[in-house]
Structures are given as C-alpha cells and as structure tokens.
Amino acid sequence: MPQLSQDNQECLQKHFSRLSIWTQFLPLFRAQRYNTDIHQITENEGDPRAVPDIKQMGSERMEMRKRQMPAAQDTPGAAPGQPGAGSRGSNACCFCWCCCCSCSCLTVRNQEDQRPTIASHELRADLPTWEESPAPTLEEVNAWAQSFDKLMVTPAGRNAFREFLRTEFSEENMLFWMACEELKKEANKNIIEEKARIIYEDYISILSPKEVSLDSRVREVINRNMVEPSQHIFDDAQLQIYTLMHRDSYPRFMNSAVYKDLLQSLSEKSIEA
C-alpha cells in the first residue's frame, strides 16, 4: 500500500482536524448507517409496512419545534408558567397543539359556564314544592267534590290533588301550573326571563322528562315569545293544562283512595268531637 508523503499527511491532518468538517460528515455517516440497519430489518421481516416512516416522523418533530419556537419568542418578558399573547396556556399538552390538559383558558371558560348554572339552581329552589297549609276541614274537603275550581283554590286541595297525580305519574301538570302562578307574581325583568327559561326547559322542551302535553299551536306561540318573555308567556299553556286536569284527572281523584280516606278520617274526627 503506497504511503503519503510527509507534506500530504500534514495537509490531510490539518484539513480533517477542523471541527466543521466532522460536523458536516458525521450526520451523513449516521444516516447511511441508519438506512443500512433499516434496510436489513426490512429484508429480515419481509414486511415493509412494519418499518415506520422515519422522514415523516422527523418532519412532524421539526414542525412541532417550529411552532413552539415562535410561541416562546412572542413572550420574552412573560413569567414562567404564565401564558403569553401568542402562546397557549402553561398546561397545554406537549404532544399536540390543542389544550388537551386542564389549561387556564379552559378553567376560565368553565367558571363562566357555571355562573348561569348557579343562578338557575337558586331560582329552581324558589319554584313551588309542597305548599304549607293547615289541615283541611271537613267542609273544605266536601267542597272539593262540588267543583274543580274549589279544589284548586286552596293549598290543601292542591296538595291532596298533587299527591294523587303522583300516583298516576302526571305530577308535572300540577308543577307546571304552580310554576306559572309563581311567574305571574314576578316584576323583575331579569328574573322573569330566567324563570321563563327554566319553566321552558323543565316542562315545554321535548327533551325534558317532565314535558307536559300541549298542542302545536301553543308551542309555536311560546317559541316565538321566548325571545322576550313576559310573566304571561305561558298563560295559554297553563289554561290548557288546567283544562286537561279538570276533565281527565279530577274525576278519577274524586273516586280515588286518596280523597276517600281523607274524607273518612275527617268524618270520624267530627263524629268523635
């Protein structure tokens, strides 16, 4: 093997001793070696689909770094962990550029979404449940059999009738009627709008499990008026449900055990007195 002269050896040593030369050739050597290994693995397995696309993975990582670098440069004076003007929150996931973690923007959004929900719960608590009333007298219970209006005019009568409706799984009719009565007493516009929305979601919406039975004409009128609801927005619907309870449920209530047991107990007490 021929040997180089001393001048040529010194020239080559001086040339290859530079760091820049090695930094240029080293990636090529590594890439050639890596491609050789991948080619060998492909031949052994016989399935080219088993080898990942190295170029595609490399391009995705480079694209990720390009996106992260401008985000960090846009906020040079931002404190650590504080999101800048052009960056995501500090808790953003590093594997994708969406807020898949609990970042600050989602926290603020959740707080804003909870504000009307809290107000709705407070107003729902104001809607009627069981009415407080003294025990009915024998005369009052006898008057209930005379007309449906006399039954509905007293709290004790409404409570007894509501107890019967619960056995027939139609208590929502009385709840809707009572909610409409409470809405008529309001004078504040904001409270009227919020209570009207709650009543609509609970008793008018077709998605509600407590939906009352209304015809299409009444529903269309309510839907139009929900843009600017008033305390009388459900008057037609309330009258329709009142008529339904009068014609359908009231006759069965008069023959029910709820009414007969109450009438009998009051009669026995009056005899003993």
Q: Which residue is listed with tokens 């109450």?
A: 262
Helices (H), 17-100: 19-45, 54-73
- pLDDT tens digits, residue range 133-142? 788 999 999 9
Long-range contacts: 187-195, Cβ < 8 Å, 24+? 187/231, 191/123, 192/229, 192/230, 192/231, 193/229, 194/119, 194/120, 194/123, 195/123, 195/126, 195/127
- pLDDT tens digits, residue range 84-128? 444 444 444 444 444 444 444 444 344 444 444 445 555 554 555
> Where in the chain are the domains?
138-270
| Confidence (pLDDT) at 265 | 93
Q: How far apart are CA 1 and CA 11, in angstroms?
A: 19
Backbone Cα Rg of the chain:
39
pTM over 0.85: no
Q: Say if residues 245 and 214 touch (Cβ distance below 8 Å).
A: no
Reported CATH class of domain 138-270: mainly alpha
| Confidence (pLDDT) at 272 | 80
